[in-house]
Structure 1
Protein backbone atom coordinates (compact mmCIF):
# COMPACT_ATOMS: atom_id res chain seq x y z
CA UNK A 1 0.00 0.00 0.00
CA UNK A 2 3.02 2.27 -0.45
CA UNK A 3 3.31 3.05 3.26
CA UNK A 4 5.92 2.60 5.98
CA UNK A 5 5.11 1.23 9.43
CA UNK A 6 7.73 0.92 12.17
CA UNK A 7 6.23 -1.06 15.05
CA UNK A 8 7.38 -0.86 18.69
CA UNK A 9 9.29 2.37 17.99
CA UNK A 10 9.81 3.71 21.52
CA UNK A 11 12.66 3.37 23.97
CA UNK A 12 12.43 -0.35 24.83
CA UNK A 13 11.26 -1.79 22.58
CA UNK A 14 12.51 0.69 20.03
CA UNK A 15 15.91 2.24 20.65
CA UNK A 16 16.99 -0.95 22.40
CA UNK A 17 16.28 -2.88 19.18
CA UNK A 18 17.94 -0.28 16.96
CA UNK A 19 21.15 -0.09 18.98
CA UNK A 20 21.33 -3.87 19.30
CA UNK A 21 20.99 -4.41 15.55
CA UNK A 22 23.36 -1.59 14.64
CA UNK A 23 26.02 -2.96 17.00
CA UNK A 24 25.63 -6.49 15.66
CA UNK A 25 26.00 -5.21 12.08
CA UNK A 26 29.37 -3.63 12.89
CA UNK A 27 30.95 -6.84 14.20
CA UNK A 28 32.43 -9.72 12.24
CA UNK A 29 30.88 -12.05 14.81
CA UNK A 30 28.30 -11.14 17.43
CA UNK A 31 28.21 -13.28 20.57
CA UNK A 32 25.95 -11.44 23.00
CA UNK A 33 23.27 -8.77 23.24
CA UNK A 34 22.10 -7.51 26.63
CA UNK A 35 19.42 -4.89 27.26
CA UNK A 36 18.93 -3.44 30.75
CA UNK A 37 16.16 -0.88 31.14
CA UNK A 38 14.02 0.69 33.81
CA UNK A 39 11.72 3.61 34.55
CA UNK A 40 11.99 4.88 38.12
CA UNK A 41 11.06 7.74 40.44
CA UNK A 42 14.03 9.90 41.43
CA UNK A 43 12.85 9.96 45.04
CA UNK A 44 12.65 6.57 46.71
CA UNK A 45 9.72 6.02 49.09
CA UNK A 46 9.08 2.82 51.02
CA UNK A 47 7.67 0.30 50.64
CA UNK A 48 7.58 0.20 46.83
CA UNK A 49 10.40 2.59 45.85
CA UNK A 50 8.69 2.61 42.48
CA UNK A 51 6.16 4.47 40.35
CA UNK A 52 5.04 3.59 36.86
CA UNK A 53 5.87 5.75 33.85
CA UNK A 54 3.29 3.81 31.84
CA UNK A 55 0.22 1.69 32.61
CA UNK A 56 0.69 0.01 36.00
CA UNK A 57 -1.45 -2.86 34.70
CA UNK A 58 1.19 -3.45 32.02
CA UNK A 59 3.87 -3.37 34.71
CA UNK A 60 2.11 -6.22 36.51
CA UNK A 61 2.01 -8.12 33.22
CA UNK A 62 5.81 -7.73 33.00
CA UNK A 63 6.09 -9.34 36.40
CA UNK A 64 4.13 -12.46 35.44
CA UNK A 65 4.73 -13.09 31.72
CA UNK A 66 7.43 -15.72 31.10
CA UNK A 67 10.67 -14.26 29.76
CA UNK A 68 12.19 -15.38 26.46
CA UNK A 69 15.98 -15.33 26.34
CA UNK A 70 18.42 -16.79 23.82
CA UNK A 71 21.14 -19.06 25.18
CA UNK A 72 23.61 -20.88 22.94
CA UNK A 73 21.40 -20.22 19.94
CA UNK A 74 18.22 -21.60 21.49
CA UNK A 75 15.16 -19.73 22.79
CA UNK A 76 14.81 -20.51 26.49
CA UNK A 77 11.75 -19.65 28.60
CA UNK A 78 12.46 -18.35 32.09
CA UNK A 79 10.19 -17.18 34.87
CA UNK A 80 9.86 -13.41 35.20
CA UNK A 81 11.61 -11.76 38.17
CA UNK A 82 14.37 -14.39 38.18
CA UNK A 83 18.18 -14.16 38.07
CA UNK A 84 18.45 -10.78 39.83
CA UNK A 85 21.82 -9.04 39.61
CA UNK A 86 23.20 -5.66 40.74
CA UNK A 87 23.87 -3.01 38.08
CA UNK A 88 25.59 0.30 38.83
CA UNK A 89 24.65 3.47 36.95
CA UNK A 90 26.48 6.78 37.37
CA UNK A 91 24.06 9.35 38.74
CA UNK A 92 21.65 6.72 40.03
CA UNK A 93 23.59 4.16 42.07
CA UNK A 94 23.06 0.43 42.30
CA UNK A 95 19.92 -1.04 40.78
CA UNK A 96 18.64 -4.60 40.60
CA UNK A 97 18.06 -6.18 37.17
CA UNK A 98 15.84 -9.22 36.64
CA UNK A 99 14.43 -11.23 33.75
CA UNK A 100 11.48 -9.82 31.82
CA UNK A 101 10.09 -10.60 28.38
CA UNK A 102 11.52 -7.64 26.49
CA UNK A 103 13.44 -9.09 23.54
CA UNK A 104 10.23 -9.34 21.50
CA UNK A 105 11.04 -9.39 17.76
CA UNK A 106 14.80 -9.60 18.38
CA UNK A 107 14.54 -13.34 19.05
CA UNK A 108 13.48 -13.76 15.40
CA UNK A 109 15.42 -11.02 13.60
CA UNK A 110 18.92 -11.13 15.13
CA UNK A 111 21.15 -14.16 14.67
CA UNK A 112 23.03 -13.83 17.96
CA UNK A 113 23.61 -16.91 20.15
CA UNK A 114 23.05 -15.16 23.48
CA UNK A 115 20.50 -12.40 24.09
CA UNK A 116 18.58 -11.25 27.13
CA UNK A 117 16.59 -8.28 28.40
CA UNK A 118 16.23 -7.36 32.04
CA UNK A 119 14.18 -4.73 33.84
CA UNK A 120 15.82 -2.60 36.53
CA UNK A 121 14.35 -1.43 39.82
CA UNK A 122 15.71 -0.11 43.09
CA UNK A 123 16.96 -2.99 45.26
CA UNK A 124 14.22 -4.61 47.33
CA UNK A 125 11.30 -3.94 44.97
CA UNK A 126 11.59 -7.35 43.35
CA UNK A 127 11.17 -9.12 46.69
CA UNK A 128 7.86 -7.37 47.32
CA UNK A 129 6.34 -8.07 43.93
CA UNK A 130 7.62 -11.65 43.88
CA UNK A 131 5.86 -12.28 47.21
CA UNK A 132 2.64 -10.78 45.81
CA UNK A 133 2.86 -12.84 42.64
CA UNK A 134 3.62 -16.07 44.50
CA UNK A 135 0.67 -15.42 46.84
CA UNK A 136 -1.64 -15.28 43.82
CA UNK A 137 -2.36 -11.57 43.93
CA UNK A 138 -1.47 -11.16 40.24
CA UNK A 139 -3.69 -14.03 39.08
CA UNK A 140 -6.38 -13.35 36.47
CA UNK A 141 -8.62 -16.26 37.47
CA UNK A 142 -11.58 -14.96 39.55
CA UNK A 143 -11.94 -16.11 43.14
CA UNK A 144 -14.94 -15.86 45.45
CA UNK A 145 -14.74 -13.35 48.30
CA UNK A 146 -17.84 -13.04 50.51
CA UNK A 147 -20.03 -14.25 47.69
CA UNK A 148 -18.49 -11.90 45.11
CA UNK A 149 -16.25 -13.07 42.26
CA UNK A 150 -13.07 -11.00 42.20
CA UNK A 151 -10.05 -11.10 39.87
CA UNK A 152 -7.03 -10.71 42.17
CA UNK A 153 -4.98 -8.79 39.60
CA UNK A 154 -7.77 -6.31 38.91
CA UNK A 155 -8.19 -5.66 42.63
CA UNK A 156 -4.46 -5.26 43.25
CA UNK A 157 -4.10 -2.98 40.23
CA UNK A 158 -6.96 -0.81 41.49
CA UNK A 159 -5.24 -0.48 44.88
CA UNK A 160 -1.74 0.04 43.49
CA UNK A 161 -2.54 2.58 40.76
CA UNK A 162 -2.78 5.59 43.13
CA UNK A 163 0.48 4.62 44.83
CA UNK A 164 2.32 3.89 41.56
CA UNK A 165 1.19 7.06 39.74
CA UNK A 166 3.51 10.06 39.43
CA UNK A 167 2.32 13.42 40.71
CA UNK A 168 2.43 16.31 38.20
CA UNK A 169 6.05 17.42 37.69
CA UNK A 170 7.34 14.66 39.99
CA UNK A 171 10.77 13.74 38.64
CA UNK A 172 11.18 10.36 37.01
CA UNK A 173 14.23 8.64 35.53
CA UNK A 174 14.70 6.40 32.53
CA UNK A 175 17.86 4.30 32.58
CA UNK A 176 18.96 1.94 29.83
CA UNK A 177 22.13 0.10 28.92
CA UNK A 178 22.49 -1.79 25.65
CA UNK A 179 25.60 -3.96 25.31
CA UNK A 180 26.75 -5.87 22.23
CA UNK A 181 29.79 -8.14 22.41
CA UNK A 182 31.66 -10.06 19.74
CA UNK A 183 34.72 -9.95 17.52
CA UNK A 184 35.96 -7.33 15.05
CA UNK A 185 39.14 -7.80 13.02
CA UNK A 186 40.17 -10.64 15.32
CA UNK A 187 39.78 -8.52 18.46
CA UNK A 188 37.22 -9.05 21.23
CA UNK A 189 34.99 -5.97 21.10
CA UNK A 190 32.27 -4.57 23.33
CA UNK A 191 29.95 -1.74 22.33
CA UNK A 192 27.75 -0.15 24.96
CA UNK A 193 25.22 2.66 25.04
CA UNK A 194 24.00 4.22 28.29
CA UNK A 195 20.94 6.41 28.72
CA UNK A 196 20.01 8.41 31.81
CA UNK A 197 17.13 10.79 31.20
CA UNK A 198 15.01 12.86 33.59
CA UNK A 199 11.71 14.73 33.57
CA UNK A 200 11.80 18.06 31.73
CA UNK A 201 10.72 20.63 34.36
CA UNK A 202 9.82 23.23 31.72
CA UNK A 203 7.35 21.10 29.77
CA UNK A 204 6.42 18.62 32.48
CA UNK A 205 7.13 15.79 30.04
CA UNK A 206 8.18 12.73 32.00
CA UNK A 207 11.38 11.00 31.07
CA UNK A 208 9.44 7.92 30.00
CA UNK A 209 7.25 9.98 27.67
CA UNK A 210 10.31 11.81 26.27
CA UNK A 211 12.45 8.77 25.59
CA UNK A 212 9.52 6.82 24.17
CA UNK A 213 7.66 9.53 22.28
CA UNK A 214 10.61 11.42 20.83
CA UNK A 215 12.01 8.24 19.30
CA UNK A 216 8.73 7.71 17.49
CA UNK A 217 8.39 11.34 16.37
CA UNK A 218 11.96 11.60 15.04
CA UNK A 219 11.49 8.42 13.02
CA UNK A 220 8.06 9.61 11.83
CA UNK A 221 9.63 12.88 10.66
CA UNK A 222 12.20 10.92 8.63
CA UNK A 223 9.40 9.00 6.95
CA UNK A 224 7.47 12.19 6.14
CA UNK A 225 10.50 13.99 4.72
CA UNK A 226 11.46 10.94 2.66
CA UNK A 227 14.85 10.21 4.23
CA UNK A 228 13.54 6.85 5.47
CA UNK A 229 12.07 5.31 2.37
CA UNK A 230 11.48 1.53 2.71
CA UNK A 231 7.86 0.48 2.26
CA UNK A 232 6.23 -2.14 4.41
CA UNK A 233 5.92 -3.10 8.08
CA UNK A 234 9.17 -3.31 10.02
CA UNK A 235 10.48 -3.93 13.50
CA UNK A 236 12.86 -1.13 14.60
CA UNK A 237 15.95 -3.31 14.23
CA UNK A 238 15.14 -3.92 10.57
CA UNK A 239 15.77 -0.28 9.68
CA UNK A 240 18.73 0.26 12.03
CA UNK A 241 21.35 -0.14 9.33
CA UNK A 242 19.70 2.12 6.75
CA UNK A 243 22.31 4.58 5.49
CA UNK A 244 22.71 7.46 7.97
CA UNK A 245 19.63 6.43 9.95
CA UNK A 246 21.20 6.07 13.39
CA UNK A 247 23.12 9.35 13.11
CA UNK A 248 19.96 11.25 12.16
CA UNK A 249 18.02 9.56 14.94
CA UNK A 250 20.66 10.34 17.56
CA UNK A 251 20.87 13.96 16.38
CA UNK A 252 17.10 14.33 16.53
CA UNK A 253 16.96 12.93 20.05
CA UNK A 254 19.90 15.06 21.21
CA UNK A 255 18.17 18.20 19.92
CA UNK A 256 15.34 17.31 22.29
CA UNK A 257 17.69 16.67 25.20
CA UNK A 258 17.72 12.86 25.04
CA UNK A 259 21.33 11.71 24.90
CA UNK A 260 22.86 8.25 24.59
CA UNK A 261 26.47 7.85 25.73
CA UNK A 262 28.44 5.42 23.56
CA UNK A 263 31.39 3.34 24.77
CA UNK A 264 33.76 1.07 22.84
CA UNK A 265 36.08 -1.42 24.53
CA UNK A 266 38.52 -3.84 22.92
CA UNK A 267 40.61 -6.64 24.35
CA UNK A 268 43.39 -8.47 22.50
Structure 2
Protein backbone atom coordinates (compact mmCIF):
# COMPACT_ATOMS: atom_id res chain seq x y z
CA UNK A 1 0.00 0.00 0.00
CA UNK A 2 1.32 3.43 -0.93
CA UNK A 3 2.02 5.69 2.01
CA UNK A 4 0.09 8.93 2.42
CA UNK A 5 3.35 10.61 3.49
CA UNK A 6 6.55 10.06 1.56
CA UNK A 7 8.61 13.23 2.11
CA UNK A 8 9.17 15.00 5.44
CA UNK A 9 10.89 18.24 6.43
CA UNK A 10 12.46 18.39 9.89
CA UNK A 11 12.82 21.91 11.29
CA UNK A 12 15.37 22.48 14.03
CA UNK A 13 18.40 20.19 13.98
CA UNK A 14 19.37 20.02 17.61
CA UNK A 15 19.87 16.99 19.84
CA UNK A 16 16.37 15.71 19.07
CA UNK A 17 15.92 16.96 15.51
CA UNK A 18 19.13 15.31 14.33
CA UNK A 19 17.91 11.92 15.53
CA UNK A 20 14.42 12.49 14.10
CA UNK A 21 16.06 12.94 10.69
CA UNK A 22 17.92 9.63 11.08
CA UNK A 23 14.88 7.73 12.32
CA UNK A 24 12.56 9.02 9.60
CA UNK A 25 15.18 8.07 7.00
CA UNK A 26 15.51 4.63 8.59
CA UNK A 27 11.71 4.29 8.39
CA UNK A 28 11.76 4.87 4.64
CA UNK A 29 10.89 8.57 4.29
CA UNK A 30 12.62 11.10 2.07
CA UNK A 31 13.84 13.66 4.60
CA UNK A 32 14.98 17.26 4.23
CA UNK A 33 16.59 18.91 7.27
CA UNK A 34 16.40 22.66 7.96
CA UNK A 35 17.99 24.86 10.60
CA UNK A 36 18.61 28.58 11.05
CA UNK A 37 22.34 27.83 11.51
CA UNK A 38 23.19 24.54 9.74
CA UNK A 39 26.09 22.60 11.30
CA UNK A 40 29.20 22.81 9.10
CA UNK A 41 29.84 19.84 6.84
CA UNK A 42 26.24 18.58 6.90
CA UNK A 43 23.41 18.42 4.37
CA UNK A 44 21.18 20.56 6.60
CA UNK A 45 19.71 23.45 4.63
CA UNK A 46 19.47 27.01 6.00
CA UNK A 47 15.99 28.31 6.78
CA UNK A 48 14.75 31.30 8.73
CA UNK A 49 11.24 30.30 9.82
CA UNK A 50 10.36 33.94 10.43
CA UNK A 51 10.68 34.49 6.65
CA UNK A 52 7.15 33.58 5.56
CA UNK A 53 7.92 33.20 1.87
CA UNK A 54 10.96 30.98 2.42
CA UNK A 55 9.06 28.87 4.95
CA UNK A 56 6.09 28.37 2.62
CA UNK A 57 8.42 27.39 -0.22
CA UNK A 58 10.20 24.79 1.94
CA UNK A 59 6.99 23.29 3.31
CA UNK A 60 5.25 23.25 -0.05
CA UNK A 61 7.90 20.86 -1.37
CA UNK A 62 7.15 18.06 1.15
CA UNK A 63 4.17 16.02 2.34
CA UNK A 64 4.75 16.61 6.07
CA UNK A 65 6.90 18.45 8.57
CA UNK A 66 8.16 17.74 12.06
CA UNK A 67 8.95 20.85 14.10
CA UNK A 68 11.69 20.37 16.67
CA UNK A 69 11.90 24.13 17.17
CA UNK A 70 11.47 26.11 20.42
CA UNK A 71 7.76 26.30 21.20
CA UNK A 72 7.52 30.04 20.51
CA UNK A 73 8.20 29.46 16.79
CA UNK A 74 5.61 26.74 16.23
CA UNK A 75 2.50 28.85 15.62
CA UNK A 76 4.03 30.52 12.56
CA UNK A 77 5.15 27.14 11.24
CA UNK A 78 1.71 25.58 11.79
CA UNK A 79 0.02 28.49 10.03
CA UNK A 80 2.38 28.14 7.06
CA UNK A 81 1.72 24.38 6.93
CA UNK A 82 -2.02 25.05 6.88
CA UNK A 83 -1.70 27.43 3.93
CA UNK A 84 0.23 24.98 1.76
CA UNK A 85 -1.54 21.80 2.96
CA UNK A 86 1.49 20.13 4.56
CA UNK A 87 0.84 17.68 7.40
CA UNK A 88 2.07 19.11 10.71
CA UNK A 89 3.71 17.37 13.70
CA UNK A 90 5.43 19.03 16.67
CA UNK A 91 6.79 18.40 20.19
CA UNK A 92 5.31 21.41 21.98
CA UNK A 93 4.16 21.47 25.59
CA UNK A 94 2.83 25.02 25.25
CA UNK A 95 -0.95 25.19 25.72
CA UNK A 96 -1.66 28.37 23.66
CA UNK A 97 0.32 26.90 20.77
CA UNK A 98 -1.77 23.73 20.80
CA UNK A 99 -4.99 25.75 21.01
CA UNK A 100 -3.97 27.59 17.85
CA UNK A 101 -3.09 24.32 16.11
CA UNK A 102 -6.56 23.00 17.00
CA UNK A 103 -8.12 26.07 15.38
CA UNK A 104 -6.09 25.48 12.23
CA UNK A 105 -7.23 21.85 12.14
CA UNK A 106 -10.86 22.96 12.15
CA UNK A 107 -10.20 25.45 9.34
CA UNK A 108 -8.18 23.00 7.21
CA UNK A 109 -9.78 19.56 7.73
CA UNK A 110 -7.89 17.92 4.86
CA UNK A 111 -4.51 18.31 6.60
CA UNK A 112 -3.11 16.38 9.58
CA UNK A 113 -2.33 18.45 12.66
CA UNK A 114 -0.62 16.36 15.34
CA UNK A 115 1.03 18.53 18.01
CA UNK A 116 2.49 17.34 21.32
CA UNK A 117 4.15 14.22 19.88
CA UNK A 118 7.13 14.16 22.24
CA UNK A 119 7.48 12.62 25.68
CA UNK A 120 5.18 14.76 27.84
CA UNK A 121 2.85 15.60 26.29
CA UNK A 122 3.01 12.71 23.89
CA UNK A 123 4.12 9.26 24.97
CA UNK A 124 2.83 9.68 28.54
CA UNK A 125 -0.65 10.48 27.21
CA UNK A 126 -0.56 7.48 24.86
CA UNK A 127 0.34 5.14 27.72
CA UNK A 128 -2.08 6.69 30.20
CA UNK A 129 -5.01 6.64 27.78
CA UNK A 130 -4.27 3.07 26.74
CA UNK A 131 -4.36 2.00 30.39
CA UNK A 132 -7.55 3.98 31.06
CA UNK A 133 -9.32 2.38 28.10
CA UNK A 134 -9.27 -0.97 29.94
CA UNK A 135 -11.28 0.38 32.91
CA UNK A 136 -15.06 0.57 33.27
CA UNK A 137 -14.88 3.38 35.83
CA UNK A 138 -11.88 5.63 36.40
CA UNK A 139 -11.17 7.15 39.77
CA UNK A 140 -7.74 8.62 39.00
CA UNK A 141 -5.11 8.86 36.29
CA UNK A 142 -1.61 9.80 37.51
CA UNK A 143 1.01 10.67 34.89
CA UNK A 144 4.60 11.42 35.92
CA UNK A 145 7.78 11.97 33.86
CA UNK A 146 11.27 13.09 34.80
CA UNK A 147 14.17 13.70 32.39
CA UNK A 148 17.05 13.76 34.87
CA UNK A 149 20.81 13.36 35.27
CA UNK A 150 21.75 9.89 36.49
CA UNK A 151 24.33 11.44 38.83
CA UNK A 152 22.72 14.62 40.20
CA UNK A 153 24.85 17.38 41.69
CA UNK A 154 24.00 20.47 43.69
CA UNK A 155 20.77 21.55 45.33
CA UNK A 156 18.73 21.50 42.09
CA UNK A 157 19.79 17.96 41.15
CA UNK A 158 18.99 18.79 37.55
CA UNK A 159 20.48 19.36 34.07
CA UNK A 160 18.88 21.11 31.10
CA UNK A 161 19.11 18.28 28.56
CA UNK A 162 16.28 19.81 26.55
CA UNK A 163 14.89 23.27 25.86
CA UNK A 164 15.39 25.55 28.89
CA UNK A 165 12.58 27.75 27.52
CA UNK A 166 10.25 24.75 27.64
CA UNK A 167 11.21 23.86 31.21
CA UNK A 168 10.75 27.41 32.50
CA UNK A 169 7.44 27.66 30.63
CA UNK A 170 6.22 24.51 32.39
CA UNK A 171 7.22 25.89 35.80
CA UNK A 172 5.50 29.26 35.41
CA UNK A 173 2.13 28.55 33.75
CA UNK A 174 -0.97 27.19 35.46
CA UNK A 175 -1.77 23.51 35.01
CA UNK A 176 -5.02 22.01 33.72
CA UNK A 177 -6.25 19.06 35.81
CA UNK A 178 -9.41 17.11 36.54
CA UNK A 179 -10.82 17.34 40.05
CA UNK A 180 -14.21 15.82 40.82
CA UNK A 181 -14.55 14.94 37.14
CA UNK A 182 -14.31 18.56 35.99
CA UNK A 183 -11.56 20.62 34.40
CA UNK A 184 -9.89 23.22 36.56
CA UNK A 185 -6.55 25.02 36.80
CA UNK A 186 -3.94 24.87 39.57
CA UNK A 187 -0.60 26.67 40.04
CA UNK A 188 2.54 25.06 38.68
CA UNK A 189 4.91 23.52 41.24
CA UNK A 190 2.01 22.86 43.64
CA UNK A 191 0.70 19.60 45.15
CA UNK A 192 4.22 18.25 45.73
CA UNK A 193 4.31 14.54 46.57
CA UNK A 194 6.87 11.81 47.31
CA UNK A 195 7.28 8.92 44.84
CA UNK A 196 9.65 5.93 44.92
CA UNK A 197 10.43 4.18 41.62
CA UNK A 198 12.81 1.24 41.47
CA UNK A 199 14.12 2.13 44.92
CA UNK A 200 14.91 5.75 43.96
CA UNK A 201 13.10 8.54 45.82
CA UNK A 202 11.66 11.50 43.90
CA UNK A 203 9.40 14.43 44.47
CA UNK A 204 6.73 15.31 41.93
CA UNK A 205 4.80 18.55 41.42
CA UNK A 206 2.32 19.87 38.90
CA UNK A 207 3.84 21.41 35.77
CA UNK A 208 2.10 22.89 32.76
CA UNK A 209 1.29 21.27 29.43
CA UNK A 210 2.09 17.61 30.10
CA UNK A 211 -1.49 16.41 29.60
CA UNK A 212 -2.09 17.88 26.17
CA UNK A 213 -5.81 17.49 25.44
CA UNK A 214 -6.48 14.67 27.93
CA UNK A 215 -8.51 16.77 30.37
CA UNK A 216 -11.04 17.58 27.65
CA UNK A 217 -11.15 13.95 26.56
CA UNK A 218 -11.60 12.40 30.02
CA UNK A 219 -13.75 15.11 31.60
CA UNK A 220 -16.78 13.42 33.15
CA UNK A 221 -15.20 9.96 32.83
CA UNK A 222 -12.20 10.25 35.17
CA UNK A 223 -12.69 11.79 38.60
CA UNK A 224 -9.08 12.88 38.94
CA UNK A 225 -6.32 13.44 36.36
CA UNK A 226 -3.04 15.28 36.58
CA UNK A 227 0.50 15.42 35.23
CA UNK A 228 3.53 16.03 37.43
CA UNK A 229 7.23 16.35 36.70
CA UNK A 230 9.56 14.04 38.62
CA UNK A 231 12.60 15.62 40.26
CA UNK A 232 15.11 14.63 42.91
CA UNK A 233 14.08 15.72 46.44
CA UNK A 234 14.44 19.42 47.19
CA UNK A 235 14.34 20.62 43.58
CA UNK A 236 11.03 22.46 43.67
CA UNK A 237 11.87 24.31 46.88
CA UNK A 238 14.93 25.74 45.15
CA UNK A 239 12.95 26.67 42.03
CA UNK A 240 10.34 28.50 44.09
CA UNK A 241 13.17 30.46 45.72
CA UNK A 242 14.60 31.43 42.31
CA UNK A 243 11.30 32.37 40.70
CA UNK A 244 9.54 34.00 43.63
CA UNK A 245 12.06 35.31 46.15
CA UNK A 246 14.67 36.37 43.56
CA UNK A 247 12.04 37.64 41.13
CA UNK A 248 12.96 35.52 38.10
CA UNK A 249 9.29 34.84 37.46
CA UNK A 250 9.06 38.26 35.84
CA UNK A 251 12.22 37.87 33.70
CA UNK A 252 11.79 34.78 31.53
CA UNK A 253 14.91 35.29 29.40
CA UNK A 254 17.19 35.87 32.38
CA UNK A 255 15.83 32.76 34.10
CA UNK A 256 16.64 30.66 31.04
CA UNK A 257 20.17 32.03 30.73
CA UNK A 258 21.03 31.59 34.40
CA UNK A 259 19.66 28.07 34.68
CA UNK A 260 21.27 26.85 31.45
CA UNK A 261 24.65 28.23 32.51
CA UNK A 262 24.34 26.71 35.98
CA UNK A 263 23.00 23.31 34.86
CA UNK A 264 24.17 22.50 31.31
CA UNK A 265 23.29 19.22 29.57
CA UNK A 266 24.90 15.98 30.78
CA UNK A 267 25.74 12.85 28.81
CA UNK A 268 24.53 10.34 31.41
CA UNK A 269 20.81 10.97 31.76
CA UNK A 270 17.74 8.88 32.52
CA UNK A 271 14.06 9.36 31.75
CA UNK A 272 11.80 8.06 34.51
CA UNK A 273 8.30 7.32 33.33
CA UNK A 274 5.30 6.50 35.51
CA UNK A 275 1.62 6.14 34.61
CA UNK A 276 -1.04 4.70 36.90
CA UNK A 277 -4.82 4.30 36.62
CA UNK A 278 -7.09 3.49 39.56
CA UNK A 279 -10.72 2.45 39.15
CA UNK A 280 -12.93 -0.51 38.35
CA UNK A 281 -12.14 -3.34 35.97
CA UNK A 282 -14.39 -6.38 35.54
CA UNK A 283 -16.57 -5.01 38.32
CA UNK A 284 -13.75 -4.98 40.87
CA UNK A 285 -11.44 -2.28 42.25
CA UNK A 286 -8.19 -2.33 40.31
CA UNK A 287 -4.98 -0.34 39.87
CA UNK A 288 -2.69 -0.67 36.85
CA UNK A 289 0.66 1.03 36.42
CA UNK A 290 3.41 1.37 33.84
CA UNK A 291 6.91 2.15 35.12
CA UNK A 292 10.06 2.60 33.05
CA UNK A 293 13.54 4.04 33.43
CA UNK A 294 14.91 4.80 29.96
CA UNK A 295 18.71 5.08 29.62
CA UNK A 296 20.92 6.34 26.78
CA UNK A 297 20.71 4.02 23.77
CA UNK A 298 22.94 3.21 20.82
CA UNK A 299 21.15 3.91 17.54
CA UNK A 300 22.91 3.92 14.18
CA UNK A 301 26.31 3.41 15.76
CA UNK A 302 25.98 6.41 18.07
CA UNK A 303 24.90 6.68 21.71
CA UNK A 304 22.00 9.07 22.21
CA UNK A 305 20.79 10.63 25.44
CA UNK A 306 17.63 9.11 26.89
CA UNK A 307 15.65 12.33 26.42
CA UNK A 308 16.71 12.50 22.76
CA UNK A 309 15.83 8.99 21.67
CA UNK A 310 12.57 8.71 23.62
CA UNK A 311 11.32 11.98 22.13
CA UNK A 312 12.49 11.12 18.62
CA UNK A 313 10.98 7.62 18.74
CA UNK A 314 7.63 8.99 19.82
CA UNK A 315 7.20 11.58 17.07
CA UNK A 316 8.67 9.35 14.37
CA UNK A 317 6.30 6.54 15.34
CA UNK A 318 3.30 8.87 15.02
CA UNK A 319 4.43 9.98 11.55
CA UNK A 320 4.77 6.32 10.58
CA UNK A 321 1.23 5.55 11.77
CA UNK A 322 -0.29 8.39 9.77
CA UNK A 323 1.70 7.45 6.67
CA UNK A 324 0.71 3.79 6.93
CA UNK A 325 -2.98 4.38 7.64
CA UNK A 326 -3.03 3.31 11.30
CA UNK A 327 -4.04 6.89 12.13
CA UNK A 328 -6.25 9.20 10.02
CA UNK A 329 -4.57 11.07 7.17
CA UNK A 330 -6.44 14.29 7.97
CA UNK A 331 -7.69 16.34 10.90
CA UNK A 332 -6.50 16.91 14.47
CA UNK A 333 -4.83 13.92 16.15
CA UNK A 334 -4.83 13.72 19.93
CA UNK A 335 -2.24 11.62 21.70
CA UNK A 336 -5.07 9.78 23.46
CA UNK A 337 -6.31 8.64 20.03
CA UNK A 338 -3.15 6.53 19.70
CA UNK A 339 -2.93 3.01 21.12
CA UNK A 340 0.37 2.18 22.79
CA UNK A 341 0.41 -1.24 21.08
CA UNK A 342 0.13 0.50 17.70
CA UNK A 343 3.02 2.82 18.57
CA UNK A 344 5.26 -0.10 19.58
CA UNK A 345 4.41 -1.83 16.29
CA UNK A 346 6.17 0.94 14.34
CA UNK A 347 9.84 0.75 13.39
CA UNK A 348 10.72 3.67 15.66
CA UNK A 349 8.30 2.96 18.50
CA UNK A 350 9.22 -0.69 18.97
CA UNK A 351 12.06 0.39 21.25
CA UNK A 352 9.54 1.34 23.93
CA UNK A 353 8.40 -2.28 24.14
CA UNK A 354 11.83 -3.61 25.10
CA UNK A 355 13.74 -0.77 26.78
CA UNK A 356 13.52 0.77 30.22
CA UNK A 357 12.03 -1.95 32.38
CA UNK A 358 12.54 -1.37 36.11
Q: TM-score, normalised by structure 1?
A: 0.82
**2:223 is aligned with 1:127:** no
Unaligned runs of 5+ residues in structure 1 are 141-151, 241-245, 263-268
In the TM superposition, residue 138 of structure 1 has moved relative to its aligned partner by 2.5
In the TM superposition, residue 51 of structure 1 has moved relative to its aligned partner by 0.5
Greater RCO (CA < 8 Å, at least 6 residues apart): 1
Residue by residue, what CA displacement relative to the aligned partner does 1:170-210 show, whole Å, maximum 9, x if unpaired? 11111110111111121111121112111226523211111
Structure 2 equivalent of residue 62 of structure 1: 170
Q: Distance in 2 between matches of 1:67 and 1:232?
A: 26
Q: Distance in 1 between matches of 2:258 and 2:329?
A: 45
2:168–2:255 contact (8 Å) kept in structure 1: no
Return the structure number with greater helix share.
2
Matched pairs, number? 243
In the TM superposition, residue 13 of structure 1 has moved relative to its aligned partner by 0.8
Q: Distance in 1 between matches of 2:233 and 2:351?
A: 33
Return the structure number with greater strand share.
1
Q: Distance in 1 between matches of 2:135 and 2:159?
A: 38
Matches within 5 A, 1:113-192: 113-140=223-250, 152-167=251-266, 170-192=267-289
- In structure 1, the residue corresponding to 2:257 is in which secondary structure? helix
Matches within 5 A, 1:28-47: 28-47=136-155
Residue by residue, what CA displacement relative to the aligned partner does 1:63-105 show, whole Å, maximum 9, x if unpaired? 21112221111223222112211111116x1011111122231
- CA distance 1:257–1:104, change in 2 (3 Å): closer
Q: Distance in 1 between matches of 2:144 and 2:203?
A: 10
1:81–1:98 contact (8 Å) kept in structure 2: yes
Q: Distance in 2 between matches of 1:73 and 1:256?
A: 31
Q: Distance in 2 between matches of 1:176 and 1:191?
A: 14
Structure 1 equivalent of residue 292 of structure 2: 195
Residue of 77, 82, 100 corresponding to 2:207:
100
RMSD value, Cα? 2.2
Unaligned runs of 5+ residues in structure 2 are 1-108
